[in-house]
Amino acid sequence: MRKVFQEELTQVGEQLVEISKLVSEAMGKAATSFQVADVDLAEDVIAADARIDFLQTSLDERAIDILALQGPVASDLRMIVGSLRMSASLERMGDLARHIAQLARLRFPSTVIPASMTETFNKMAEQDQLIADKLVVLLESRDLEVARDILKANSTIDDLHLSVFKAIAAPDWAESPATTVDVALASRYFERFADHGVSVARKVTYLVTGEWQPQGI
Amino acid sequence: MRKVFQEELTQVGEQLVEISKLVSEAMGKAATSFQVADVDLAEDVIAADARIDFLQTSLDERAIDILALQGPVASDLRMIVGSLRMSASLERMGDLARHIAQLARLRFPSTVIPASMTETFNKMAEQDQLIADKLVVLLESRDLEVARDILKANSTIDDLHLSVFKAIAAPDWAESPATTVDVALASRYFERFADHGVSVARKVTYLVTGEWQPQGI
């Protein structure tokens, strides 16, 4: 019985890693579709999001079964409840990658953002990709050094997000209202993606150390 | 033992109701501060959000204790896991009310939105308030008729949100870039608030009927 239980816990952990890999792939494709106006790639991301949603539901059902049948306690219980929360954050990251792809599809064959913003958004996409990749490593290894990298990337994204809003409010901003809204929303999607990544990193940290550190990792 | 357990479950339910009441109050004040540029009211909402966050954490700890100590099964287990999820949605609704209040504070003494948009946003605020109020009733009564009202209000908000983005993209839109972004973000905050309300309503429906109905209530 005990052995079956440990296997089930391991499977939940593996399913989290699987979802995080799909999220990383989604962000990679979404960012490219957004940067080069590739509508096929955007369609890929939009279609693939259903798989992430399905895996989240399946992980949650498995976790609830474990709660019902095994009555885990202490660190096992924390791990199961933590997994329910992490799967919700990962699912939301998938949604945000889909939102970015949907913007790319909406504006195709144009790019979503004006040339003046390309560099800023490239940097944001790069940091989000880094966060998504590091999350896979963190969920596999539970190496808290990786969690710190995620926090650092998020801080860079916060600065970039702020710079986008400053650019929009500057007197020399001359883009159309529709483009202005696209830029603001896209920036918010990239920024929220990173926030959810941090939220997962914090949960892993909590599971490893048993201590909740809302102000840092 | 059994009696203590039932009392604990009841307390979790009551705490959800308490949080939903604070969320409703937050939306009411946030909407007013946004509509009439009342910075004191906006500050109230921003300060009160910490209380919602605290109550969510406290509810979650209580729910996890119940899982650890009582090993609930079947509908009790569903109720506890459902409560963990609903508290997360309610907490997010509190955040969104805070975001609306923060916009009001940022633009004070001006209003956030231009006069041409007042009516649309008044309607959105009204429907969000209705959703927040109905959620309190739903969590207290578990009357699924109320869940249907929430779904209907959300559908109205979706239409209003769409109309805001159409107005921004129309050729006669003449607002500044900063105002354009404010309008887009505010509309998204009101719309997301309703989405989370629907998500709570669906969970209550699931708890009552045991059936998941993603396409309706």
What is the domain-level CATH number for residue A189? 1.20.58.220
Q: What is the pLDDT of residues A140-198, one digit of tens each?
A: 999 999 999 999 999 999 999 999 999 999 999 999 999 999 999 999 999 999 999 99
Question: Which pLDDT score, from 0 to 100, does residue B215 have?
Answer: 44
Residue B65 counted as domain residue:
yes
Q: What is the distance in angstroms between the Cα of A177 and the nearest Cα belonging to chain B? A: 6
Which run of H or E residues covers position A71?
Answer: none
Inter-chain touch B88–A84, beta carbons under 8 Å:
no
CA pair distance B179, B182, nearest whole angstrom? 5
Q: Which of A77, A84, A185 sits opposite B184 (nearest CB)?
A: A185
Inter-chain touch B168–A177, beta carbons under 8 Å:
yes
Residue A215 counted as domain residue:
no
Q: Greatest CA span in chain B, whole angstroms?
A: 68
Residue B215 counted as domain residue:
no
Domain that residue B143 falls in: 2-209
Q: How many domains does chain A have?
A: 1
- B191 neighbors B144 (Cβ within 8 angstroms): no
Residue B114 counted as domain residue:
yes
CA pair distance A105, A110, nearest whole angstrom? 9
Instruction: For chain B, list residues whose CB is within 8 angstroms of any CB belonging to chain A.
Output: 64, 67-68, 71, 73-74, 77-78, 81, 84-85, 88, 165, 168-169, 173, 175, 177-178, 180-181, 184-185, 188
Residue B23 counted as domain residue:
yes
Q: What is the pLDDT of residues B144-154, one digit of tens each?
A: 999 999 999 99
Quick one: how far is CA A209 from the chain centroid? Answer: 23
Which residue of chain A comes nearest to B185, CA vs CA?
A185
Count CB neighbours of B45 within 10 A: 27
Residue A78 counted as domain residue:
yes
ipTM for the complex? 0.87
CA pair distance B125, B82, nearest whole angstrom? 27
**Residues of chain A with confidence (pLDDT) below 70:** 1, 211-217
Residue A214 counted as domain residue:
no
Joined tokens for residue A146: 């990786």
Three-state DSSP class for residue B178: helix
Q: Does the pLDDT of residue B217 top 80, yes or no?
A: no
Residue B153 counted as domain residue:
yes
Cis before residue A109, ω within 30 degrees of 0? yes
Inter-chain touch A67–B85, beta carbons under 8 Å:
no
Quick one: how far is CA A75 from the chain centroid? Answer: 25
- Which of A67, A112, A168, A202 is the mutation pick for testing B, counting most B CBs within 10 A? A67
Inter-chain touch A77–B88, beta carbons under 8 Å:
no
CA pair distance A35, A117, nearest whole angstrom? 11
Of B21, B28, B19, the closest CA to residue B101 belongs to B28
Question: Which pLDDT score, from 0 to 100, does residue A3 have?
Answer: 82
Which run of H or E residues covers position B96?
Answer: helix B74-107
